[in-house]
Structure 1
Amino acid sequence: MELPYLEDVSPGTGSLPPRAWYARSDATSLSLNGSWRFRLSPTADAADDSFASDGYDAGAWDTVAVPGHWVMQGHGAPIYTNMVYPFPVDPPRVPTENPTGDHLRTFDLPDDWPATGGGTLRFDGVESCARVWLNGTELGEFKGSRLPHEFAVGHLLKPSGNVLAVRVHQWSSGSYLEDQDQWWLPGIFRDVTLLHRPEGCALDFFTHASYDHRSGTGTLRVDSDVDGRVTVPELGVDVAAGESVTVAVEPWTAETPRLYDGVLATAGERVPLRIGFRTVAVEDGVIKVNGRRILFRGVNRHEFHPETGRALDRDTMRTDVLLMKQHNINAVRTSHYPPHPAFLDLCDELGLWVIDECDLETHGFTEQGWRDNPVDDDRWTPALLDRAARMVERDKNHASVIIWSLGNECGTGRGLTAMARWIRARDTGRLIHYEGDPSCADTDMYSRMYADHAEVERIGHRADTEGPESRRQLPFILCEYGHAMGNGPGGLSEYQELFDAHERNQGGFIWEWIDHGIKHPEFGYAYGGDFGEELHDGNFVCDGLVFPDRLPSPGLDAYKRVIQPVRFAYDEDAGTVRITNLHDFADLSHLSFEWAYHVDDEAASEAGELAVPPGLGPGESVDLKLPDPPPTSRDAETFLHLTAMVGVKTNWTKLDHGVARAQFAVTPRPAVRPATGERPSQGAEFITLGPGTFDPRTGELRTLNGIPLPGAPRLDIWRAPTDNDNGASWQGGQRNGLVWRELGLHRMQHRLDAVELTDDALTVRTRVAPAARDIGLRTVYRWTSDGSQLRLTVSVTPEGEWTVPLPRLGIRLGLPAAYGYAHWFGGGNGEAYPDTAAASGIGRHFMPVDRMQTPYVRPQENGARADVRWAELRAGFTGEGVRVVGEPAFWFTARRWTTEQIDAAAHRTDLTPGDTVWVHLDHGQHGIGSQSCGPGVLPRYELHAAPAEFAFTFSRREATPEEEPPPVAPPPGRSSL
């Protein structure tokens, strides 16, 4: 049976050969972006082809924006699956129910359109299969959603009334090659452009610009399909295309993205060139650029916008690159397809290493043990080679692209080998990556996803004995690690230590850059299942370092600190700081350095500049003498703050932008003075002790300094499980969130055993335990007072066999809604947990409780502040309130809903502020880890059930109307850049 074109395994017909992409030349062009007429049909053959003919009346059709996806514009709905195909797996066949969008655009040629020469119609991206007509003549059809396709149309153009018709099918044989973890979003989602092609125009060209780090020279050769000349005025270069020239140059790197402007001039066209000289190689099992080992501090990036899907404008692309640069990220893997080429222009200009990945993933075939996998079926090889060629030819002139990736999660097969061979023959100046083949037969590096720390250490030692010996001689990268789904990821600092310790371990790429939450009137942001999908993977699509609106998450702030390119080490005995340059190429001349001493919660008492030698090269260190800490007349903590800031003008951030920082304790925290001496008094209705009144039957605190407590302080061990707590079904090891719930830790029962009054204390004895289990926590609350302060000492003793860590250990209490302004001395500004606290700095922080919440798309445990010495909940910034001092320091969380309400919520909009501020004062928190797709919590960050004792001292915070409000702190998710 002959299959229709949309099910044929061929890449299409009628398209011109792939070639280099460039945004502009002196040839005329016409953008066909804008409003198009649109008709949606439920099947591929529901409507005839007459709409492509001249004179067709589409006045009754709807309109859609191009670039755009019709499902993002009210026609049908998005579908999210991570791995499985949302249609029966019967390659290359697709369902009869196949949404098909007919697009129609009428246009006139501009007045300056030349009368001679040809014309090319370019589509930069259409999902998943398109058939094209111009003025009633069929041009052809194509697949390969994220790659350009061009058609020769000069002979069909007329001065006015041109009719461009495009039929787009959601499903095609190409869909089997595009099973990436993302939304399925059909439509013409990238630019459509008409290009005039004058006689003698440039066709394809390949800029080769290598760098010799020994001589400091670059060798340039621009191969061109058409004779022409290449000029680079700054270098005095004027040579024929195809001719090599060697000159002294400054090299291009991600840290120093030096570009030279040039021109390729043919008889009919002048094409601007942006040339970066660099050489990429594997030497002695290490990836080197310009002779030096590089370390990837990277992210994976899908193209996404919460309102327009994969249709991104240039400003959004620039925002992404600037945010990456401002958070010390130096590399991007373009998961899992080539991005819009304008994004690569920005990577060239601003400086990012790029792994450019082919538009290829067949992940859904794992459901049948990779049977019928297209990458191991010779019938599909032409389509695979077409995709490889369109990627390489389009992007080959970008200095930022140093590695080609064959695709993602395709298993193994002959098609991948054919792609690798073609790429090597076409481009000898870049490396090849593919993660899915453990033999590394076709690649220049060993790549893994989500290997745990122990495995990464073995790989660093070349002690990974499972694979072939040849693999152990290759450089190693984690193409995905640190799954940034919800709260997290944790354990990044320990990965970075392994990257720094082993030359072979050359870094990795966090999964991923952005949450793919789609803006929704009811849910705020929608994820899988919110559009009625039959099959979906829930909020697994929301796993980014930035939220859908591109506000940075706490995870991004933590990652910035983990990968910061300057290391500080403080020697208290010598009074010196060692500064180490962790850049791969740059010295420190672009940075300025400051030191400051902070005493307790006061502003910096002494500060100054650090005279760091600007020529301090990569990997070099210097020891600098610091001024002595300030003398203190009272017991106080003293902290040393060290900061590196941008000190020269740059194109990616402002002056004084913080690049690196560190904090060191110079003197310890003084002991908290016990609040004792007051005798509890038994009254008719209450027990009174200092500023507190208690229920005589239960021993629960009812008022504090006259403030009624909607929730009395009591032991709390539950947290709304994070995505990383819950883990993934395919992950090994214990999924704590599920086990906690199975044990009943979300519904602990509190049994009162005794209320005891003595001369100096009120003691309440309880047992806290889950129903149906024989485990519990024997808990004693001991209250004392000195008359003005009230001290609570909590003693916890586990009973039974606890085989799982605790989610948290502390107390929870409720305050009236008016006490909604938080002021604390401890970690901040944003949230932190034991293994995600790299960005947390001890200091004085102010924030309304409403802004302490981290807006994860799926609500979960969030908002804890680490290492808090004291915290106040106030009625306004200057209002009276409650002060809490912890012994030892504690984790502080405050919010207007309970943990149980967070646990029950599916979306942010499910959370409605109540009339109580719920305050968590935690002695311990379990770590976060990365088990939503990676490894769980490292043992050092697990919170095990063990005997514990901790104390909190409560007192009144008096109103201070003379106090001036501080600058409003940025909320969680907004980085202080």
Structure 2
Amino acid sequence: MIQVEKYWEDLTVLQVNREAPRAYFIPYSEAQTALANKRARSPFYQTLNGGWKFKYHTSVKDVEDGFYAASADVSGWDDLLVPSCWQTNGYDQLHYTNVNYPIPCDPPYVPNENPAGLYARDFNISETWDEKDAYVVFEGVNSCFYLWVNGQFVGYSQGSRVPAEFNLAPYLKRGKNRIALMVLKWCDGTYIEDQDLWRFSGIFRDVYLLARNPVHIRDVFNRQELSEDFSKAVLRCELETTGQLEVKAELRDAKGSLIGEGATSLDGKGTIELNLANPELWNAERPYLYQLYVYGGGEVLRFPVGFRKVEITEGVFKINGAAIKLKGVNRHDSHPELGQTIPLNHMIKDLNLMKRHNVNTIRTSHYPNDPRFLELCNEYGFYVIDEADLECHGVDRIGDYHLLTKNPEWEQAFLDRMERMVERDKNQPSIVIWSLGNESGYDKNHMSMARWTKARDASRPVHYEGVDPRYNGSKDTEVIDMEGRMYTSVADIEKYALDEASTKPMFLCEYSHAMGNGPGDLKDYWDVIYKYPLLMGGCVWEWTDHGIKTETAEGIPFFAYGGDFGDQPNDGNFCIDGLVSPDRKPHTGLLELKKVIAPIRIEAEDLSKGVIKITNLYDFIDLSQIALYWKIEKDGQTVEQGELKQAVAAPQQSIMAFIPYTIPQASESRYFLTLSCRSKQDTRWSEAGYEISFEQFELPVAIEVAASEDGNKQSQPSRIRTIQVEQQGHNLVVEGFDFVHRFDLYAGTFTSVSKHGVEMLQAPVGFNIWRAPTDNDRRIKHDWMDQGYDRATMHVYRSEVTKQSETSVEVTVDFSLGGYMKLPLLHGTAQWSIDGTGEISLQVKVKVRESLSFLPRFGLQLAMPHGAEEVEYFGFGPHESYVDKRQSVRKGKYLLTVDEMFQNYIMPQENGSRYGTEWAIVSNEQGMGLKFASPDGEFSFNAAHYTPADLTTALHSHELSKRKETIIQLDYKMSGVGSNSCGPELLEQYRLDEKEFEFGLTILPLFKEDE
């Protein structure tokens, strides 16, 4: 057994021999290579990424003493790529848990059987480094580690997601050296790293060596001051050296021109002050960066400088004097194959996607990200909430949410997380808010963190959501600069904004939970956020699904979630809660967010005259970079289009614009105006012509009923043929000129619908109230199932022919829907009629039992035979939409396949419905099928190869068995999707909560090519 001090359970030891935290930088030999920001081009940088020898032990007690010796034989160890996570390489347990600790909650103690990973690597030191000190930097190691070089103990560190730096000069020799680590899965720091994520271990971020002269610049803090009118800027470069050193600083603009310089001689601490007139300001819309070069000790250090002022005045969050709305997302480090090891190109992919979807803010939930990610945010233009690696949510499970933060023994552990983050990231202009961590209660230790932060950097406000009064923490919240809230309802944030006692801006650090088919309340939030200056915006939870790419025993690939690896405790698919899939394919929720937070608003002013109002919601740039295109569609077909040459709207200003279209006063057709806002030029994240946003309006054209050949107005076909009606037992057979329909009087429904001998039904038609629960139904579904919604079947009280003529027949059915052991859920009367064209009409009256929860849906479900793959409809598209999730769709005529209607969620659930459908045709490729419409105007429509029961039963998408038949849903209404997986309950206006309603449908068998 290895003989080491048991630091991993000692709150008084957070590190041994670790260097004091400092700003992130890489020393270069010249300014040109420093500007390129390619670390490997620096002669003072040497990567230790790559192949390491690795040995895994299930318990630290099994680690052999002396494994770290320079002469130890590690040839029999495994090969492991660094950086990486053990668990994604086949070691230990892949484990997802949210709140619950994966260990007994006995802080600061962790299990005796503490898994350990041993790392060893031989490396060479260049002769050019002979006169220099070599430092090793570990950007991220989870959760703690012991370090040896050439058999000598160097030090210890914990704090997984902030760097640990050690001076190796006393231990290195010329030529070959050996570095060895023992990484432990758990330590006392585990109790404050209880974030909602997969629990990974190992050296998961970059490792490298830096060569520094014995006397060098140890730290740089670039403080800035802007005059009140922003016409003058002062940059104070606060320096710390390890000895007597001549230091020079140069400030260059984005073109590389020298605009300021200064020099000083110092031994320890000193300042170089640079003054600048009329500075270009940095913001997320125009992220202008100056470059500061600091020379000293034969090195060049480069720092991006973005001049900006962050302040809160009269309860309003401002940047550069402008009131800002933070349109953000929460982002975890998450890769479907590499876990928390995030390659640079993967970071860029995330940022490109965010920019393309109008996101301007990132909360680094819930720990500091790789420093290169922050550098990218500087360049792309994002407001960043930098969050300390601190969450102890699991103590809530033992009944004291504030257990650790009110315990003075944990104060240094809390402070250590904040200090190391702030010191590392203090020079990143993209960071506009410091956050004290997440879900850890609130008391004295958080106050210490906040006070230290304000003393060190007063230029950024401090956030912490744990001060929410609902948590009953300390009432002393003076050190927190904003009212941070999670999943507060729309009504409650408006109540806060209207309360005269509210003095701090409210930041929704998490809202609108994007799990599965959702979120469904984005517009409701943003209507209120835009309305009140006190509401500064928020970050949707969350950016990405945390699925692990794996495969079944049969080799079928899928994304796994909690419990799929036998992990206990686990929180199932609660990690599948993002706006994009693990492989970064946008969900429809991201498209919805893009539209809701779009930086351009277009409103109808007088559509009869072509007048619209355009509002620029950007804070700092005008709309000169946006082209606005318009088109008029007549019944889904484009009849007129053009580009609008409008005046340019200044930031936060509106203009009126005229569109020169022509429309009739009345028509049999519907006319829609669609406006598309597109980028004029290529950007780093999009191509020219990329759509930033759109808006659509129905034009004020009076509906004119079609005229018959003799000039009479009529809405029915000009020739109704006769029918023959025959009762065969309990079957009613209705035969017309080219159709035969069968209605089962005993079952109260149609069993066959055919035209020209082509059968259109695969199974009887039935009423349906059940939908496969969405993730956001995870709470209400228990009530639904308890009441029997999922097993509701129809009982027929009466089914008989009530009207009959030569050209039509009517059948009335009195029925109820209910599940076993329960009273009927609803009673209804359905009037079915068939006319000589073969068209089936339904008019149903429904009365729902008073005591019930709102219904998931109400409508018809039917199955069409194999081959019914073509879907044509007029309604909202092209993707799924719901009553509360329909801002990102536009009304038009769409032609899709059944498979294209399907939205494939990792956890199968209700998907693919089209809200606001006016008519739909489902047919085979020859156009033989059924047309659905509603005399009431609109209905919700879906076509899929899965029933609601199929989607309810399956736990993963690969468990779905695709049916040959096509399942059609024709809904009077469907309840919205909301965000109640973690957010507030579904808003009342989006619930199907009517106790009495009527619904009409028509079903017409047709051959499209003959129409």
Corresponding position of 2:827: 778
Do residues 149 (structure 1) and 164 (structure 2) align? yes
**Does the 8 Å contact 2:507/2:536 carry over to 1?**
yes
Counterparts of 1:343 and 1:201, CA distance in 2: 26
Cα pair 2:61 2:113 within 8 Å, conserved: no
Distance change (3 Å), C-alpha of 1:76 and 1:670: farther
Contact 2:133/2:168 (<8 A) preserved = yes
Worse overlay, 828-837 or 57-66: 57-66
Cα 1:637–1:789, aligned 2, differ >3 Å: closer, same or farther? farther
Q: Name 2:1000's counterpart in structure 1.
A: 950
Question: Does the aligned pair in 2 maintain the 1:200–1:269 contact within 8 Å?
Answer: no
- Return the offset for 1:482: 0.3
The answer to whether residue 781 in structure 2 is matched with residue 737 in structure 1 is: yes
Partner SS state of residue 495, structure 1: helix
**Displacement after TM superposition at 1:630 (Å):** 3.1
Greater CA drift, 193-202 or 333-342: 193-202
> Does the residue aligned with 1:394 lie in a helix, a strand or coil?
helix
Q: Pick from 748, 763, 768 the counterpart of residue 811 of structure 2.
A: 763
**Which stretch shows the higher mean deviation, 759-768 or 743-752?**
759-768
Residue 38 (structure 2) aligns with: none
Residues 1:576 and 2:611 are matched in the alignment: yes
Pairing partner for 1:660 from 690, 693, 718: 693
Deviation at 1:199, TM superposition (A): 4.7
Deviation at 1:557, TM superposition (A): 0.5
Per-residue deviation, residues 935-959 of structure 1 (Å, max 9, x unmatched): 1111111112422122123232335
Match for residue 209 of structure 1? 224
Q: How has the CA–CA distance of structure 1 residues 678 and 179 changed in structure 2, closer, same or farther, with 3 Å as cutoff? A: farther
Is 1:390 equivalent to 2:420 in the alignment? yes
Q: Secondary structure at the match of 1:595?
A: strand
Deviations 1:423-447 (A, max 9, x none): 1111121110011023433211111
1:175 aligns with 2:219: no
Which digits, 9 at most, give the CA deviation of each residue in 1:271-322, with x for residues without a partner?
Answer: 1221111011111111111111111111111110111111000111011111
Q: In 1, are the aligned partners of 2:764 and 2:862 still within 8 Å (CA)?
A: yes
CA contact (8 A) 1:432 1:444 kept: yes
Paired residue for 2:891?
Answer: 842
Contact 1:199/1:268, CA 8 A, preserved across alignment: no
Deviations 1:165-196 (A, max 9, x none): 11111111010110111111111110011111
| In structure 2, distance between residues paired with 1:853 and 1:371 | 42
Query: Within 2, Cα distance between the matches of 1:503 and 1:450?
Result: 19
| Selected match of 1:891 from 928, 940, 961 | 940
Which residue of the partner structure matches residue 710 of structure 1? 762
Describe the SS at the equivalent of 1:564: coil
Q: Closer, same or farther in 2 for the Cα pair 1:934/1:668, shift >3 Å? A: farther
Aligned residue among 117, 128, 138 for 1:101: 117
Q: CA deviation at 1:633?
A: 8.7
Q: Distance in 2 between matches of 1:154 and 1:434?
A: 40
Alignment of 1:376-775 (within 5 A): 376-438=406-468, 439=475, 440-463=477-500, 472-522=502-552, 524-570=558-604, 571-602=606-637, 604-614=638-648, 616-631=649-664, 634-666=667-699, 667=701, 673-674=715-716, 678-682=722-726, 684=728, 687-690=733-736, 691-697=739-745, 698=747, 699-705=749-755, 706-727=758-779, 736-752=780-796, 753-756=798-801, 758-759=804-805, 760-770=808-818, 771-775=820-824
> Do 2:134 and 2:212's aligned partners in 1 also have CA atoms closer than 8 Å?
yes
Q: Give secondary structure in 1 for the equivalent of 2:175.
A: coil
SS at match of 2:428: coil
Does the 8 A contact of 2:63 with 2:116 survive in 1?
no
For structure 1, which segment, 819-828 or 949-958, has the greater mean C-alpha deviation from structure 2 after superposition?
949-958
Aligned-partner SS, 2:262: strand
For 2:543 and 2:341, locate their aligned partners in 1 and report how far apart those are by CA, in whole Å: 16
Paired residue for 2:151, among 136, 145, 148? 136
* Aligned residues of 2:53 and 2:119 also touching (Cα < 8 A): yes
Task: Report SS of the residue matched to 1:318.
Answer: helix
1:792 is displaced (CA, Å) by 2.5
Tell me whether 542-551 or 625-634 shows the greater mean CA deviation: 625-634
Letter paired with 2:487? Y
SS in 2 for 1:509: strand
Q: Quick check: 497-506 or 150-159, which moved more?
A: 150-159
> Structure 1-normalised TM-score?
0.93
Partner in structure 1 of residue 20 of structure 2:
17
**Residue in structure 2 matched with residue 902 of structure 1 by the alignment:** 951
Alpha-carbon shift at residue 67 of structure 1 (Å): 1.1
Partner of 1:964: none
CA distance in 2, matches of 1:39, 1:703: 68
Are 1:193 and 2:208 matched, yes or no?
yes
Shift of 1:784: 3.9
Q: Which runs of 5+ in 1 are unaligned?
A: 464-468, 728-735, 962-977
Give yes or no for contact 2:130–2:174 (8 Å, CA) kept in 1.
Answer: no
1:163 corresponds, among 154, 161, 178, to 178
CA RMSD of aligned residues (A): 2.2
Q: Report the Cα offset of residue 110 of structure 1.
A: 5.1
State the SS of the aligned residue for 2:405: helix
Which whole-Å deviations, capped at 9, do the CAs of 1:367-400 have from their partners, x for residues lacking one? Answer: 2332782222222222222211110011111110
Per-residue Cα deviation, 1:142-168 (whole angstroms, up to 9, x for no partner):
110000000001333334332111111
Distance 1:363 1:633, change over 3 A: closer
Residue 739 (structure 1) shift: 1.1
Give the Cα–Cα distance (whole angstroms) in 1 for the partners of residues 754 and 520 of structure 2. 37
Using the TM superposition, give the Cα deviation of residue 611 of structure 1 relative to its aligned residue in structure 2, in angstroms: 2.2
2:272 alignment partner, one of 238, 242, 253: 242
Q: Which residue of 1 aligns with 2:709?
A: none
> Quick check: 1:680–1:758 contact (8 Å CA) kept in 2?
no
Q: Distance in 2 between matches of 1:371 and 1:591?
A: 49
Instruction: State the 1:134 CA deviation.
Output: 1.3
Secondary structure at 2:130 match in 1: coil
* Identical-residue share of aligned pairs (%): 35
In structure 1, C-alpha distance between the alignment counterparts of 2:403 and 2:5, rounded to whole Å? 19
Task: Name the CA distance, whole Å, in 2 between partners of 1:201 and 1:704.
Answer: 87
Q: Equivalent residue for 2:316? A: 286
- Looking at structure 2, the residues matched to 496 and 373 of structure 1 have their Cα atoms a distance apart, in angstroms, of 36
Q: Determine helix, strand or coil for the equivalent of 1:131.
A: strand
- The offset of 1:624, in angstroms, is 1.2
Q: Deviations over 1:693-713 (max 9, x none)?
A: 214444413133212422222
Q: Is the 8 A contact 2:882 2:976 kept in 1?
A: yes
Shift of 1:782: 3.8
**Higher radius of gyration, 1 or 2:** 2
How many residue pairs get matched? 941
| C-alpha distance in structure 2 between counterparts of 1:671 and 1:368, whole Å | 69
**1:807 aligned to 2:837?**
no
Q: Give the letter for the 2:404 counterpart.
A: P
Distance 1:696 1:939, change over 3 A: closer
1:850-896: CA deviation from partner (whole Å, max 9, x where unpaired) = 232222221111111121122222334x6544333333222121111
Measure the CA separation in 2 of the matches of 1:525 and 1:671. 53
- Tell me how far apart the structure 1 counterparts of residues 163 and 687 of structure 2 sit (CA, whole Å): 36
Picking from 221, 224, 236, the partner of 2:236 is: 221
Q: Distance in 2 between matches of 1:858 and 1:24?
A: 47
Tell me the TM-score normalized by structure 2. Answer: 0.90
Cα offset, 1:674, TM superposition: 4.7
Secondary structure of the equivalent of 1:51?
coil
**Structure 2 vs 1, CA of residues 678 and 123 (structure 1 numbering), >3 Å: closer, same or farther?**
farther
User: Does the 8 Å contact 1:763/1:780 carry over to 2?
Assistant: no
